[in-house]
Amino acid sequence: MVFIKVRDPNNLEDAIKKFKRECEKNGILKEIKRREYYMPPSIQRKIKKQEAERRARRTKSKKRH
């Protein structure tokens, strides 16, 4: 949970900027995007495996050069 203390009630824009910064720092937006759609565990494993294979191919091709 992110809490922001507003010292000057007239300066709402600064409070909003500070709130956004704290949310980004805590990874809240990333977590929201990750949970936006339900993905079954089998598909999560499949995607994770594909990403690992892609990374392996990229590092292998970089070592050749």
pLDDT tens per residue across all 65 residues of the chain: 888 888 888 888 999 999 999 999 999 988 998 899 999 999 999 999 999 999 999 888 877 76
**Does 42 map to a domain?**
yes
**Does 4 map to a domain?**
no
**Does 6 map to a domain?**
no
Domain that includes residue 41, residue range: 12-64
Q: What is the pTM of this model?
A: 0.52
**Does 21 map to a domain?**
yes
Instruction: Count the domains in the chain.
Output: 1
Contact status, residue 23 vs residue 29, Cβ threshold 8 Å = yes
**Does 5 map to a domain?**
no
CB neighbour class for 32 (10 Å; exposed up to 12, middle 13-18, buried from 19)? exposed
